[in-house]
Amino acid sequence: MTRRQRQRAIRMVLYAIFLALVVGLLFLVDWESVTRNFFMTEAFTGTWQDMVLTAAKNTILYTIAAFVGGFVLAMILVLMKLAPVAPFRWVATGYIELFRGLPALVVILFMGFGVPIAFGGWRPPGGIIGSGLTALMLVAGAYMAETLRAGIEAVPKGQSEAARSLGMNGVWTMSSIVMPQALRIVVPPLTNELVILLKDTSLLFVLGFAANQKELTSMARDFMVSGPSAGTATSLTFAALLYLAITLPLTQLVSWMERKQKRSR
Amino acid sequence: MEDLHPTQKVDRSAPAIDVRQLHKSYGDHEVLKGIDFSVEKGQVVCVIGPSGSGKSTLLRCVNRLEEPSSGQILVEGIDITDPDTELDKVRSRVGMVFQQFNLFPHMTVLRNLTIAQQRVKKRGRAEAEKIARENLAKVGLADKEGAYPGHLSGGQQQRVAIARALSMDPDMMLFDEPTSALDPELVGDVLDVMRKLAESGMTMMVVTHEMGFAREVGDKLVFMDGGVIVEEGSPVEVLTNPQHRRTQSFLSKVL
C-alpha cells in the first residue's frame, strides 16, 4: 500500500467506527423513556414562569452580587499584595491560597451553618442567602485576585517607568497608567470567572431557600417531586437549557474578545 | 520654586549631572564599577559602548529608575541618592526618552502629553493642552494629537515621547538608545528633532549607537566598557584618534 492509500484506509475505518457508535446508540436507547423523563412538554409550559421569572432571575442576581463583591475583594487583595509592608502581603497570599484550595461547597456550608453556630446565631446580612452569597464572594475574590495580579504583571514595566520618569507618584502611576491597561487585559479571564461563578450559584441549593428565593437548581429539584413535571427529570433539562442560554453567549463573547486582543497586539 | 530637598537647594551654576564613584550591582554581578561622570549645563554628552557595558544603567541611575548601590549622583547640586530628596519633583525636571518609547497606549497623543503636566505640575487643562500642542508642533506632529500611539509609526511614537518629556519643561533630557528600536528609514526624523533640541541649548545625555549624531551634535563623547569609563573627550578626537585599545577595537567594529 502506498502512503496515500494507507491514510485513506485509516480515515475510512474511523468513519465506520463513528457511524457504528451512532447507529448503536439510536437502537440501544429507549427514546420513548428519554422523551417522557427529560422532555415532557407540559412540564415546560407549566413551570416556565417559576423557572424563568423567579429562578433564572435569582441565579443572575446572585451571580452579579457575588461577582461585584468578589471583584472589590480581589482589588483589595491585589493592593495588599503590592503593599510595601510585608505582613499585608502575607495575609493576602494566605487568604488567596486558603480559598483557592477549598471546595466552594465547603465554604458555603461553613458560612451557612458553621458561622451561626460559632457566633451565637449571627450571620452576614441578608439571612441564609446573605450567608451563601458571602461564601461565593469569598471564593471568587481569591480567584479574581490572582487574575488581576496576572493582568498587572502583563503591563510592560516600561509603562510605570515612563510615568515615574515624568514625576508621577506611585498611586497615580497605578491608578491612571497601570490599572486601566491591566483591567483591559483581564476582561476575558474575568468573564470566564463570571461563567464559573454563575454555575457555582447552583451549590447554594444545599442551604435551603424560601420559594421566592430559589435559584435554578433548587427550583428544578423542587419540580422533580412536585408540580406538572413531578416524577420526571424534565425540570433539570429545563434548568440546564436556561444555564446554557446564559453561559454560551458569555463564552462566545470571551473567545471573540480574545481574538480581538490578539489582533490588536 | 518648590522644595526638592529639606536643606539642599538647586544650584544652577553646578553641573547639570554630577556622578561620583557610582557603583551598581545586581547580586554578585557588578554592572558599574566606580563611575565619575558629569554633564555641564547646556552640554550634549553622548555615551557609547558595547551592549552590557553599563551605559544604560548609568543613564537610568540619573533619575533613579535604577537604585545605585553606592556613590553619589548630584542633579543641579541636589544629591538624589539622599532619602530626603523629593524624587518625584526631581524627576519632573529631568525628561527621559526610552528605547521602546513607552507611550501610554490607552490614551490619545494629546492626553499622553497632558496627564503628567496636570497631575505633577498642577497645570490647568487648557494650559496643559496649549503647551502640549506647542511641543507636538516642535516635533512635527501637530496633526496627530487625537491619534492613539498604536496607530503611529515607531518614529512618530518616539517623537511624541520626546514631546511628552518636553511638555514638563525639563532642565535636561536623558535619551536611552532612542533610535535603536526604529526601522532605519525612521531614524533620521528622530535625530533631526534631537539635533534641533540640542541647538536650542537643552542639556542632554544620550546613550546611542549613532556615531554620526555623536560626532556632529555632541560636545563630549564617553566610551564605556565593562562597567567603567574607558575614555572620554571631544567626539572628533575620540572617534578619529582613540587612545585606548578597547576604544579602538569597538570603533573598528561599528564604524
Q: What is the pLDDT of residues A50-59, one digit of tens each?
A: 888 889 999 9
- Amino acid making up residue B155: G
**Residues paired with B72 in a beta bridge:** B20
Residues of B in contact with A158 (CB under 8 A): 98, 100, 102
Whole-number percent of chain B with pLDDT over 70: 99
Distance CA B43, CA B60 (A): 18
Lowest mean pLDDT, pick from A187-201, B7-21, B234-248: B7-21
Q: What is the pLDDT of residues A214-264, one digit of tens each?
A: 899 999 898 888 888 788 888 899 999 999 999 999 999 988 888 887 766
Cell 480581538, located at residue:
A260
Under an 8 Å CB criterion, which residues of B touch A?
Answer: 63, 65, 88-89, 91-96, 98, 100, 102-106, 115-116, 119-120, 150, 161, 164-165, 168
Q: How confident is the model at residue A1, as a pLDDT? A: 77
CA distances from B215 to B127, B196, B238 (A): 38, 15, 9
Looking at CA atoms only, how far is residue A171 from chain B in angstroms? 11
Contact B100 A166 (CB under 8 A): no
Question: Are the CB atoms for B17 and B205 separated by under 8 Å?
Answer: yes
ipTM: 0.93
Look at strands B94-97 and B172-176 and give their pairing: parallel
Nearest to A172 among B105, B119, B165 (CB): B119
Distance CA A173, CA A263 (A): 27
Contact B88 A168 (CB under 8 A): yes
Contact A168 B120 (CB under 8 A): yes
Question: Are the CB atoms for A45 and A210 separated by under 8 Å?
Answer: no
Contact B65 A167 (CB under 8 A): no
Residues in chain A: 265
Residues in chain B: 255
Confidence of residue A36 (pLDDT cuts 50, 70, 90): confident
- Amino acid making up residue A184: R
pTM of the model: 0.84
Q: What is the pLDDT of residues A14-35, one digit of tens each?
A: 999 999 999 999 888 888 888 8
What chain A holds in terms of domains, given with CATH numbers, is: 41-264 (1.10.3720.10)
Looking at CA atoms only, how far is residue B71 from chain A in angstroms? 21
Q: How confident is the model at residue B118, as a pLDDT? A: 95
Distance CA A126, CA A130 (A): 4
Residues of B in contact with A159 (CB under 8 A): 102, 104
**DSSP secondary structure letter of residue A41:** H
Distance CA B30, CA B52 (A): 11
CA-based nearest residue to A96, from A42, A54, A145, A58: A145
- Amino acid making up residue B227: G
Contact B119 A161 (CB under 8 A): no
**Residues paired with B22 in a beta bridge:** B35
Q: How confident is the model at residue A227, as a pLDDT? A: 83
Contact B96 A165 (CB under 8 A): yes
- Which ranges of chain B would DSSP assign to H, the alpha helix? 55-62, 87-92, 109-120, 125-138, 154-166, 184-199, 211-217, 235-240, 245-254
Nearest CA in chain B to A156: B102
Q: What is the pLDDT of residues A123-162, one digit of tens each?
A: 888 788 899 999 999 999 999 999 999 999 999 999 999 9
CA-based nearest residue to B54, from B71, B41, B75: B71
Q: What share of chain B is helix, strand, coil (3-state, %, to 5)?
A: 40, 25, 40
pLDDT averaged over every residue in chain B: 94
